[in-house]
Structure 1
Amino acid sequence: MNQIQNNLFHSINQFSRHFSKILNEALTPLGLYTAQWTIIYLLKTNGPATQKELSHYLGVEAPTMTRTLARMEKSGWITKKTGTDKREKQIILTEAANNMYDTWLQTVRTCESQALKNISDQETTEMLSILKKMSVNL
């Protein structure tokens, strides 16, 4: 791997950490963390999911997901209901989470807009294409 590639991966990692920190600072006053937002966004856009499906999508281990979901349930953002397979529960958003969703989304979009300031739509599209190709390679 050459120096340019090393710098690419270092930069991706650093950006991700910094953006997560900024997003956490914006979401925490609203009772939410970045990891929880990702789950809420997924449930809102794709509908109910099992813990296993959420873990797979986010690339996190089961114990981490269990802790995150327990915190979210305690906060009143999600609930679990028995699905067609009685052994696996479906995770769904509560009415409280649905009521807060637009506020959270606006906060996230504000942080995203700040990160994308001075970056053209073409550059964003190219970056998205590259990231998708890299993800397929994994």
Structure 2
Amino acid sequence: MEGFFQHYLSLYRPLITKLNELMSTYELSYSLWQVIFYIKTNGPSTLVDIANKYNVEKPTITRRVHRLEELQMVKQIPGMDRREKVIQLTEFGEEIYLACRKNITNLENSVMESISYEDQLITFQTLPKIQENITVGEGNKRE
């Protein structure tokens, strides 16, 4: 389906802009939210775990975590290995997560309002498959 990626990319940037606007009240950006969301979903996590999830370099995650520490939303806890940094949400971070989650859910509901549940479900199931194809290099195969 030619043009699929162009359509996807044309919605990605405005969506990130909208998310950044929503989170600016909390001094957050979408990239900082990704760290909070990962920790909330997976529990205390290492920088490597978070970097691997979002396919970014560890120094990028380190900078994000430092910013979240400055905002007192995350803190380091002892890990199995002294060299390994394990990060968890603070109580304040949990509160911010809940506030942002509510705002993001409201945004999701508003942008999906005129789209049938069946179409939403198909999209929800299809996007991870596309991501997997890109990640494992299967996107170029034809049957």
Mark yes or no: TM-score above 0.5.
Answer: yes
Q: State the partner residue of 2:70.
A: 74
Shift of 1:49: 0.7
Q: Is the 8 A contact 2:35 2:64 kept in 1?
A: no
Q: State the partner residue of 1:43.
A: 39
Q: 1:105 aligns with which of 101, 106, 120?
A: 101
User: Structure 1 unaligned runs (5+)?
Assistant: none
- Number of equivalences: 134
Q: Is the 8 A contact 2:43 2:88 kept in 1?
A: yes
Q: State the partner residue of 1:114.
A: 110
Deviations 1:90-138 (A, max 9, x none): 1100111112222111111111112212011110111122212212212
Q: State the partner residue of 1:33.
A: 29
Q: State the partner residue of 2:119.
A: 123
Shift of 1:19: 0.4
Distance of 2:31 and 2:81 partners within structure 1: 27
Matches of residues 48-59 of structure 1 in structure 2 within 5 Å? 48-59=44-55
Question: Which runs of 4 or more aligned residues in structure 1 lie more than 3 Å from their structure 2 counterparts after TM superposition?
Answer: none
RMSD: 1.3
1:126 alignment partner AA: I
Q: 1:133 aligns with which of 116, 126, 129?
A: 129
Distance of 1:102 and 1:63 partners within structure 2: 27
2:87 is paired with a residue of what secondary structure? strand
Determine which structure has greater relative contact order: mean sequence separation of CA pairs < 8 Å that are 6+ residues apart, divided by chain length: 1
Distance of 1:37 and 1:25 partners within structure 2: 12
TM-score (normalised: structure 1): 0.90
1:83 is paired with a residue of what secondary structure? coil
2:52 alignment partner AA: H
1:95 alignment partner AA: E
Distance of 2:129 and 2:41 partners within structure 1: 23
